[in-house]
Chains A and B, each alone.
Chain A
């Protein structure tokens, strides 16, 4: 019975392909249609998750701050996000006349598109990945870097000094923290011997990588917080003098799209952390796709906890921290991992 629930989605897609083939559709086309459906499912998952996340963030921040959080709409305020989304949809869409129109309009769409593309390689359960690239991890990190372009487009297209300033700061921050992000993951890659995400999960059969690479986990979390522009690294966004930084000139749904994209990134990054450090979909008794959900939410809770507890780091401290502290630490981690592996293999491990 548990086995059936476990392989539910895999069985469904197998049956779907068999059914299409029986209708006379060639295999390549059937695969293509399945891919499309999987993509739509991903979009669906993202939207559901974001809805839950926004509510969760407000509730968690409320409890940390000794207040109830949303509690009017629905039991425990669960319909709050829907109400907010409806409100945003009805807002007037203002496009300032002096903006560089195409860049201005494309920026949020690009941001969201890239964030959605990150989910293609994430393993959401045993054998449940849209595409199991053999350079999955590399693909993920590279795409993550592209988001800086979307931000810069937003700031530049607004044709506003302060937006540009905010966007440039964001980009500087994100570029600086990508290096420790990637380097933290190198230790894991060295031990697992592969960039394929399903291999990395399989390599954690006996021991989760968080135990073998605790420092990498920590630096990954810190770098990811900076990448996501979340507190305590949200200086470019929450900087009160520069209003909302790169997002200043955006209104209504476009503004919401930026924040939705940020939340999408949050889920993706947390899912990656669970995959690489916390054993992915492995876990006793419960089906695999449930385990990955639980672990992802656990990591997201840590991100939220950090945001609502710490004050903001000043821009120059932020850069200094990345270049002078995080990068050396991650490099040392790689060297130590190398030594460890060498000795491990030497003693016949």
Chain B
């Protein structure tokens, strides 16, 4: 007689659409997914242990390699945590520059999200359009820090160097072009029926599950929960800006895409306001050469990274190196939702789910 058996297929870790070294073990019954178990750890570089043998300033470049697609955001999170720990106040101009760099990083990360989603679905051209637009941001980063992707531009207490003259016109022209860019993506990708059919209704995540599983960032907001750390617990000078937090309704792959798309537009608004309000002045506070925070003090600081809540927990023992440093990585926690959204779906939708949950393995594995 005919008997059915369960198939186990391995997706990744070497894989064009594995988003880094992600290994997903898919258990199938025919075409239907019974379970999709992610295995991480292929990119583990023991960053937390390394932190214990580096001074606070020496550790700054390591943080850029965590969420490597969000360039400045993880670095901003780290330096702000250390500033909280040591009680350093950052000058105004540096704060504004950090806002601009952070939001540009967020736009770059979301552009890559859209591009890699497009190529995972087969619309190769989408990736190249997004990369072309992202190049403009990379050029701006290169102008300021000399590095396109892994810029260690932030310092504890401020910024490394002031902005060159050609930076601000470049940013202004980029922000002006954002609506045109979004319209192009609309025409090529979002408006296409095939694209919509592959995303709408796929990978639904309920709001209760999202909160219970610790999912944050655009994934949480796509489920209908209005929770953005920039508004809920403003850090830096985010409370001075007027922007909206896009919230989805159904928690499916389409909403996750649309929330990120809308966030690009909102980040553009923040950058515009920051450019207007930015004062002249110092770019770095007076920080002792070797920073030794108070003994026994511990601080947890979190920022809204491109993927979700990026938090740093530092325990100081009075020395120049952290006693313990822990990185709360959003991608690590978000990946727990992958089995939830994939169960009951089809095999092809696992790829869509991985792409729309937007994990970055450098961050997940540290």
Q: Interface on A for B, CB 8 Å cutoff?
A: 61, 64-67, 161-162, 231-232, 234-235, 238-241, 308-317
A241 to B31 Cα, complex, angstroms: 12
| Residues of B close to A66: CB separation below 8 A | 128-129, 132
The number of chain B residues with a CB under 8 A from chain A is 32
| Residues of B close to A312: CB separation below 8 A | 121-123, 194, 198
| Residues of B close to A311: CB separation below 8 A | 118, 121-123, 126, 189, 192, 194-195, 198
| Dominant secondary structure at the B interface | helix
The 7 closest A-B pairs by CB, nearest first: A312-B122, A311-B123, A311-B121, A65-B128, A311-B122, A65-B125, A311-B195
A310 B351 Cβ-Cβ under 8 A? no
A240-B16, A241-B9, A316-B346 known; A310 vs B128 contact (CB < 8 Å): no
Tell me the minimal C-beta distance from B8 to chain A in angstroms: 11
Tell me the minimal C-beta distance from B104 to chain A in angstroms: 22
| Residues of A close to B229: CB separation below 8 A | none
| B156 at the binding interface (Cβ < 8 Å) | no
| B124 at the binding interface (Cβ < 8 Å) | yes
A66 to B195 Cα, complex, angstroms: 21
Choose from B9, B118, B188, B348 the contact partner of A315 (Cβ within 8 Å). B348
A232 to B125 Cα, complex, angstroms: 13
A231-B122, A239-B348, A241-B351 known; A313 vs B194 contact (CB < 8 Å): yes
Tell me the minimal C-beta distance from A108 to chain B in angstroms: 25
A232 to B192 Cα, complex, angstroms: 12
B346 A310 Cβ-Cβ under 8 A? no
A241 B128 Cβ-Cβ under 8 A? no
7 contacts between A and B (CB under 8 A): A65-B129, A308-B124, A309-B123, A311-B122, A311-B126, A311-B195, A314-B197
A239 to B349 Cα, complex, angstroms: 12
CB within 8 Å of A: which B81-130 residues: 118, 120-126, 128-129
A256 to B272 Cα, complex, angstroms: 53
Cβ-closest chain B residue relative to A165: B7
| B295 at the binding interface (Cβ < 8 Å) | no
B15 A314 Cβ-Cβ under 8 A? no
| Residues of A close to B26: CB separation below 8 A | 241
| B11 at the binding interface (Cβ < 8 Å) | yes
Cβ-closest chain A residue relative to B128: A65
Contact with A along B1-21 (1 / 0, CB 8 A): 000000101010001110000
| Residues of B close to A161: CB separation below 8 A | 7
CB within 8 Å of A: which B164-190 residues: 188-189
A65-B129, A241-B11, A241-B351 known, 13 other contacts, Cβ within 8 Å: A64-B125, A161-B7, A240-B11, A241-B9, A241-B347, A308-B125, A310-B122, A310-B192, A311-B195, A312-B121, A314-B198, A314-B349, A317-B194
